[in-house]
Amino acid sequence: MTQRILYFLVPGTNVSPFDVTMAADAGFDQVIPLTGIRPENVTALVQDAIFCRPPGRFNDTGIFIGGRDVHLATDMFQSAKQAMVGDFRVGVFADPNGAYTTSASVIALVERALVERTGGGFEGRDVAVFGTGPIGLCAAVLAARQGARTSLCQLTAEDDAKAALRFCERYGAKVEWVLAETHRQKINALSGAEVAICAAKAGIRILDREVLDAAERLLVAADTNAVPPSGIEGIGSNDRGLPVELARCAFHAIGPLAIGSLKYKTEFGLFRAIQTSSQPALLDFTEAYAFALEELGRSKPAHS
């Protein structure tokens, strides 16, 4: 009997139970964890997987690249793509720390809110992304690639500007690095923004009422933080395009549970795509974004 097998490749010592459960629910019969994997190990592992089945069975074998480091995941994803030989190919899906599907969902929801409010998307918009971790990096790249003038806002002295901008450059995204460690710097970073995205650590208020009061051009704000207090004051967990009014600032809010719902559907859908696509699927956050947009297109606008 045919067994659909998914190999998990992660640099660390364990795989994510969330991702394992998602893969199993999406239809994989076996999920095989391979830990401690580095980019230089990927080629041999992928080629070991592609040659054990005939080319026509590419839907029955998949490679998932996880872990927590988006820089390593990018290297591993590129190595996996280059490891294919002729017609011997399998699907590859990268989603380190859930950052690819989460950032894709953030940008898709923001774009939908912009279109609903103004009739246009990211093109020519000023976007400020607060938080330079995996989700913030990917969100900044996606926004920039949709034509936005994007700023990546440094919140702590430990944020690595060189590594972050190198990641953006790998995807051809022009992103500006902006200081936002102090209250005044946050105000300056947000003052001209039409879109604000908070992708910082959970349980920390990044943009409070006073900072938001300076954001007179703000149209849409999205917050990935589901742990109280919210990262952006005024945003509720389930908000999906809900209007929020402050003293001099009015925006449409997108909350973390709305993002999480679309992230879940996107990750599930991409695991299914490995098993159903007409060609071996190669999926990172750019494909995740396209899928999230399609998923939103199948749903009605919601303001809750």
> The domain that contains 198 carries what CATH number?
3.40.50.720
Q: 95 φ, ψ to 5°? A: -155, 65
Range of weakest confidence among 59-68, 189-198, 203-212, 290-299: 290-299
What type of residue is 31? Answer: V
Q: Taking all residues of the chain, what is their mean pLDDT, rounded to a whole number? A: 94
29-45 pLDDT per residue, tens: 999 999 999 999 999 99
> What is the per-residue pLDDT for 302?
52
> What is the per-residue pLDDT for 304?
42
Q: How many CA atoms lie within 13 A of 33 on its CB side?
A: 15
State whether 60 and 203 are in the same domain. no
Distance spanning both ends of the chain, measured CA to CA: 46
Domain membership flag for residue 94: yes
State whether 122 and 192 are in the same domain. yes
Please give the average per-residue pLDDT across 248-262, as a whole number: 95
What type of residue is 246? Answer: L
User: Is the CB of residue 105 less than 8 Å from the CB of residue 268?
Assistant: no
User: Is the CB of residue 202 less than 8 Å from the CB of residue 223?
Assistant: no
Element (H, E) at 4: none
> What is the per-residue pLDDT for 156?
93
State whether 74 and 25 are in the same domain. yes
Residue 125 in tokens: 């918009």
Q: What is the CA radius of gyration of the chain?
A: 20
> What is the per-residue pLDDT for 107?
98
State whether 49 and 163 are in the same domain. no
Is the model's pLDDT at 240 over the cut of 80?
yes
Q: Please report which confidence band the pLDDT of residue 127 belongs to, taking 50, 70 and 90 as the band edges.
A: very high
What domain range is 109 assigned to?
102-257
By the 10 Å C-beta count (0-12 exposed, 13-18 middle, 19+ buried), 17 is classed as exposed
Alpha-carbon distance of 266 to 294, in angstroms, equals 10
Alpha-carbon distance of 35 to 53, in angstroms, equals 23
Q: Please report which confidence band the pLDDT of residue 249 belongs to, taking 50, 70 and 90 as the band edges.
A: confident
State whether 163 and 54 are in the same domain. no
Domain membership flag for residue 215: yes
Q: What is the CATH number of the domain that holds 27?
A: 3.40.50.10280
Domain membership flag for residue 34: yes
State whether 243 and 164 are in the same domain. yes
State whether 252 and 268 are in the same domain. no
Q: Give the strands of the sheet with 149-154, arranged side by side.
A: 175-179, 149-154, 126-130, 195-198, 220-223, 250-254, 240-245
Please give the average per-residue pLDDT across 207-219, as a whole number: 93
Q: Please report which confidence band the pLDDT of residue 246 belongs to, taking 50, 70 and 90 as the band edges.
A: confident
State whether 77 and 166 are in the same domain. no
Domain membership flag for residue 89: yes
State whether 199 and 116 are in the same domain. yes
Domain membership flag for residue 150: yes
State whether 87 and 109 are in the same domain. no
Domain membership flag for residue 177: yes
Q: Please report which confidence band the pLDDT of residue 232 belongs to, taking 50, 70 and 90 as the band edges.
A: very high
Q: Please report which confidence band the pLDDT of residue 300 belongs to, taking 50, 70 and 90 as the band edges.
A: low
Q: Please report which confidence band the pLDDT of residue 248 belongs to, taking 50, 70 and 90 as the band edges.
A: confident
Nearest to 161 by CA among 141, 143, 176: 176
State whether 122 and 148 are in the same domain. yes
Count: domains in the chain: 2
Is the model's pLDDT at 288 over the cut of 80?
yes
Tell me the pTM.
0.94
Is the model's pLDDT at 68 over the cut of 60?
yes
Domain membership flag for residue 211: yes
Alpha-carbon distance of 221 to 243, in angstroms, equals 10
What type of residue is 202? Answer: A
81-110 pLDDT per residue, tens: 999 999 999 999 999 999 999 999 999 999
Domain membership flag for residue 247: yes
By the 10 Å C-beta count (0-12 exposed, 13-18 middle, 19+ buried), 192 is classed as middle
> What is the per-residue pLDDT for 228?
92
State whether 139 and 216 are in the same domain. yes
For the beta carbon of residue 25, count every other beta carbon within 10 angstroms.
11
Q: What percent of the chain has pLDDT over 70?
A: 98
Buried b (16+ CB within 10 A) or exposed e, 40-78: eebeebbeebbeeeeeeebbbbbbbbbbbbbbbbbbbbe
